[in-house]
Amino acid sequence: NDRYCVFGHPIGHSKSPVIHAAFAAQTGEALEYTAIEAPLDDFAGAWRAFIAEGGRGANVTVPFKESAHRLCDTLSERARRAGAVNTLSLGASGETHGDTTDGLGLVGDLHRHDAAIAGKRVLVLGAGGAVRGVLEPLLEAGPASLFIANRTAARAEALAADFADLGAVTGGGYDTVRGPFDLVINGTSASLAGDLPPLPDDLFAAGGVAYDMMYGAEPTVFLRWAGERGARGIDGLGMLVGQAAESFALWRGRRPEVTPVLERLRREL
């Protein structure tokens, strides 16, 4: 069987092996997918060792997405812009190709929930690696405007400038957020700590959607807050399964169905 894995540190709670095993069963692809905890100081060595043992491709999660980006021989355009790689593939002549599927996972999940992006006023919270990784597919979906708000305003402004050629994207601090928005995407790591960025109560337009890239057995702090202000909430579990499906498609040339795997994961949260 062809071998794949996910690299992270820590990696113990990763759902990727379960997701890819389900995709393999669904498509009849013969592959093996494991979780590997790479050493913090030698991601490249871990990837080389995996190749030497017959590895064909890998997903990459925290904190190695930038290290993975650095070691690639070739990069997709979106991975180059994202400055991060979540999907490594071994090429025919032994070269390593890097891509990033997080943004496709996000946009696909919004589509699955009938949450429109085209022509909409979009707000993105956060300006770290997670947000950088999804901006290109988001902007390509054609929002009327996209504002990036961040605690450190300069980071949001710089990020907006980096993507300005792709659409109407601007950035600033939370004090400069002026709603209403049709779609608000939380890409900060604040909710991990149970925190919420300071946001105005009238953030959402009528019929507005709140998307949190995080997920959990219970609604996140952000989704609870948004629900109390009338927004429809969606958590990031579908983005997780969606990015995995896109990686699987890159490796195997077949795109598995997300919904049955997502429903199963939801039940097991």
Catalytic residues: 65
- From 23-31, 151-159, 161-169, 246-254, give the range in contact with ligand ATR by CB under 6 A: 151-159
Residue 69 vs 252, nearer CB to ligand ATR: 69
Residue 118 vs 193, nearer CB to ligand ATR: 193
243 is in an annotated binding site: yes
Task: Give me the residues paired with residue 172 across strands.
Answer: 149
State phi, psi for 232 to the nearest 5 degrees.
-85, 130
173 binds ligand ATR (CB under 6 A): no
121 is in an annotated binding site: no
152 is in an annotated binding site: yes
Q: What is the DSSP string of 118-157?
A: TT-EEEEE--SHHHHTTHHHHHHT--SEEEEE-SSHHHHH
Q: Which of residues 176-215 bind ligand ATR (CB under 6 A)?
A: 188-190, 193, 195, 197
Q: Which residue is nearest to ligand ATR (CB)?
A: 128
Measured from the Cβ of residue 127, the count of other Cβ atoms closer than 10 Å reads 25
172 binds ligand ATR (CB under 6 A): no
Least distance from C-beta 252 to ligand ATR, angstroms?
27
Contact status, residue 146 vs residue 139, Cβ threshold 8 Å: yes
Among 107, 64, 104, 57, CA closest to 85: 64
Among 40, 41, 33, CA closest to 9: 40
233 is in an annotated binding site: no
Q: What is the H or E stretch that residue 172 is in?
A: strand 169-172
215 is in an annotated binding site: yes
Q: What is the DSSP string of 34-66?
A: EEEE--TT-HHHHHHHHHHTTEEEEEE-TT-HH
Contact status, residue 247 vs residue 59, Cβ threshold 8 Å: yes
130 binds ligand ATR (CB under 6 A): yes
CA–CA separation, 205 vs 160, rounded Å?
23
Q: What is the H or E stretch that residue 163 is in?
A: none
120 is in an annotated binding site: no
Residue 144 vs 161, nearer CB to ligand ATR: 161
Least distance from C-beta 150 to ligand ATR, angstroms?
5
x/- letters, 50..89, toward ligand ATR (CB under 6 A): ----------------------------------------
CA–CA separation, 104 vs 35, rounded Å?
22
61 is in an annotated binding site: yes
x/- letters, 7..46, toward ligand ATR (CB under 6 A): ----------------------------------------
Least distance from C-beta 189 to ligand ATR, angstroms?
4
Least distance from C-beta 118 to ligand ATR, angstroms?
25
Residues forming contacts to ligand ATR in the complex (CB under 6 A) are: 126-130, 150-152, 155, 188-190, 193, 195, 197
Binding residues for shikimate: 14-16, 61, 86, 102, 215, 243
